[in-house]
Chain A
Amino acid sequence: MSTVAQKKGFGAVLWDYLTTVDHKKIAKLYIMAGGFFFLLGGIEALLIRIQLAVPDSNFVSAGFFNELLTMHGTTMIFLAAMPLLLGFMNAVMPIQIGARDVAFPFLNALGFWLFFFGGLFLNLSWFLGGAPDAGWTSYASLSLHSEGHGIDFYVLGLQIAGLGTLIGGINFLATIITMRAPGMTYMRMPLFTWTTFVASALILFAFPPLTVGLLLLMFDRIFGTAIFDPALGGNTIIWEHFFWIFGHPEVYILILPAFGIFSEIFSTFSRKRLFGYSSMVFATVLIGFLGFMVWAHHMFTTGLGPIANSIFAVATMAIAVPTGIKIFNWLFTMWGGSLTFPTPMMYAVAFIPSFIMGGVTGVMLGSAPQDYQYHDTYFVVAHFHYVIVGGVVFAVLAGTHYWWPKMFGKMLNDTLGKVTFWLFLIGFHLTFFIQHFLGLMGMPRRVFTFLPNHGWELGNMISSIGAAFMAVAVLIMLYNIVVTSVKGEYVSADPWGDGRTLEWAVASPPAEYNFKQLPLVRGLDALWVEKMQGKKEMTPAEPLGDIHMPNSSILPLIISFGLFVAAFGFLYHPDGVSWSVPVMIIGGIITFGSMTLRSIIDDHGYHIHKEDLMDDDDKKGVEA
């Protein structure tokens, strides 16, 4: 099988992507789907801000507003931020450790399709009777009594998507543990790989409580059990604990890969190795560990009592320490470096003050007595948007510019990128800075309108104008992507010129097998070590030989589709329709039948022969 690009028809390309198990193609699927849901979540946000721009508005009804805010949060966190980050982790991490793919390529595809069908199922709620409306946190007292099927869409959709994420987490962990290239010890891994590792460990341990919580809510709503129902001895706080035992590590799952992206960007565009590598690794692991000890800071006002509140408040303060270590290390990386400021570096520099602002309001919220004043006001909304937008979204935009040439072979236009950056930065601060003060002035969150003459009109109007800036910025980014795809020029393996890590040692985009010969890693910043010795490329760690590749398969899509079908059976079961159980069974057969087929049909992959690899040497200018 030749690795030279072949001209393919649309149908062939579509089938290729539907059946691929290649981590690079799966990464593109995640980024496209995540990007699409980001736009959807953005539209939901715009509608919220239009409604809140003026007092006493009835641009949308109260019920619809609740659906909008629920779906905005759920979509942005589960269907946009996580998939975009998973996409980058998929695209970059295997190459950074010198591997040819992840440990379980088939499961990698399955993880994507589970996310896709889960997200699709959740969003079908808009058309099938109404979206969930109890907030992205879906507290059991409210969500148990929400009429219509909205919450059931939430429960079932997130359960399916969550399975996908869990599979992805296990995959990345196994890959990093077993498939590092020779010479790549743990302490020679790039920071982005380390953050992938710790975030994946967080996924492994944080998603099961969510799975159980969703299972319990599903049983209570669909089968009439009594876990959360006080009348039969249940307790609604059980949901809150499960949600936040998941939910707090979840935000670290979001921010750690973002930190990893910025670590790569800071060192590349300072032409200097990351300052304090060991302490960065230590801080990452500590943040991951502490992230599991603080969840009840989301529940200070539920009546846990002063002892529990104090313990969680102190633990919350402690997380600021390793985060601070990281901020200082990034600044020290820049100090004395040879700095350039293309678009990714602009985002990185803007990230520092923005994230710090979000971090310090987090410390304020972490003080239990103070939180009694802030809880459920716009102060909280301002805090988390500062850390998520100022941290995660900036990282995603930065990472998009930074790794676009590696993934697609062309550079995004830097001027347009900077226009997007400035518009987005201004819009972001306009929207959310003022919300701190709205919160301090008493404006509650998750309420569809506000009365005039509270002094909130100006703040809300400014906030809504900022949203418009961000919308324009995103549109310009889309335009950038389209223009680049149509007109852009192809680039080399190391288009930024100063690549330090292994992904810049392979072609842009990489061959399907990544490395013709697995590289020998001789130190941290493996490619930089070779460059400093005057070499143009990595020393190989093995002779040229046949390369074993996995086969594509349509089964991951079918397995996920089966769960999607079964979910409809579960959804309509409480309505007493005759077809609910048959549909559950049919969906189950599709899923378990496909899983059985996968297990009993042998799949040994195929080989790319040595002779074909040697041919490419002559044809390609850049060596893989």
Chain B
Amino acid sequence: MHVEEKLTAETFPAEPEKATLEGKNKFIGFWLFLGGETVLFASLFATYLALNKSHASGPSSQELFELPLAFIMTMILLASSLTSVYSMYHMKNFNFKKMQLWIGLTVLLGASFLALEIYEFNHYVHLGHTITGSAFGSAFYLLVGTHGAHVLFGLCWAIALMVRNSKRGLDLYNAPKYYVFSLYWHFIDVVWVFIFTVVYLMGMVG
């Protein structure tokens, strides 16, 4: 079978993710999906921008957000983007073990991000900023929560990839799968860049 043939560092193609028709299709299909996701998140951002001043009797954005936590979370997610770039570098070099290692690091960083976010949401709820308490609250949790749900889905995806392929090694069947995951993970970071700018930074400036 062509896709499962055992390759070596020499015979492994230069662009393994696009070396098969299935790989080409997954590559294009996933970029198309990201185009749609761009509009999806833009809609959530748009709703947030319309409603971020309507905090009813709850705290306003200036009272709520704090720079240090937002900064740490941003750094963690940015670092996880770099670790996933390293994993793709090792995939191109046909180094399966190192690729798995760097994806594992990506997962650890992503999980830390998520843990901090859960802590953050819990803290806000105690301050009176709830999803049902005001339009601002609803828009905030729906936007940032949808991003968080995407992070969680990505973590489950990465873990499934790592576990499923641990015995198999790298071949042309799973190379596109790893590549597509890394595109997804970068996109999540792209969305976060806008979240920390529009929600947290703009929220504190007023």
Contact = CB atoms under 8 A, between A and B. Distances in A.
29 contacts: A166-B36, A170-B33, A174-B25, A174-B28, A178-B21, A204-B35, A204-B36, A205-B35, A205-B36, A207-B36, A208-B36, A208-B37, A208-B43, A212-B44, A213-B43, A216-B142, A219-B138, A225-B137, A225-B138, A225-B142, A227-B47, A227-B135, A227-B138, A227-B142, A233-B51, A233-B134, A234-B54, A242-B43, A599-B164
A317 to B, nearest CB: 26
Contacts of A215: 142
B179 interface: no
The 3 lowest CB-CB distance pairs between A and B, nearest first, are A233-B54, A233-B135, A225-B138
A232 B3 contact: no
Contacts of A476: none
Contact of B32 (A204, A207, A224, A242): A204
Contacts of A238: 47, 50-51
B36 A223 contact: no
A208 B138 CA distance: 19
Contacts of B160: 596, 599-600
A579 to B, nearest CB: 23
B52 to A, nearest CB: 10
Contacts of A204: 32, 35-36
A233 B47 CA distance: 12
Contact of A226 (B32, B33, B44, B137): B137
Interface residues of B, number: 37
A562 to B, nearest CB: 16
A209 B39 CA distance: 7
Interface string A231-244: 01111001000100
B54 to A, nearest CB: 3
A504 B89 CA distance: 47
B28 A212 contact: no
B2 to A, nearest CB: 9
A226 B24 CA distance: 43
Interface string A166-187: 1000110110011100000000
A21 interface: no
Nearest to A204: B36
Interface string B143-171: 00000000000000000100010000000
A103 interface: yes
Interface of A: 103-104, 166, 170-171, 173-174, 177-179, 204-205, 207-209, 211-213, 215-216, 219-220, 223-227, 229, 232-235, 238, 242, 245, 596, 599-600, 602, 604
Contacts of B53: 233
A386 to B, nearest CB: 30
Contact of A235 (B24, B36, B135): B135
A309 to B, nearest CB: 19
Interface in B15-37: 21, 24-25, 28-29, 32-33, 35-37
B124 interface: no
A209 B36 CA distance: 9
Given A225-B132, A233-B51, A234-B54, A178 B138 contact: no
Given A227-B138, A242-B43, A177 B164 contact: no
Contacts of B1: 604
B139 interface: yes
A219 B140 CA distance: 13
Contacts of A173: 28, 32
B44 A225 contact: no
A211 B41 CA distance: 11
A177 B47 contact: no
A104 B142 contact: no
B135 A234 contact: yes
Contacts of B138: 219-220, 225-227, 232, 234
B163 to A, nearest CB: 9
B29 A235 contact: no
B176 to A, nearest CB: 12
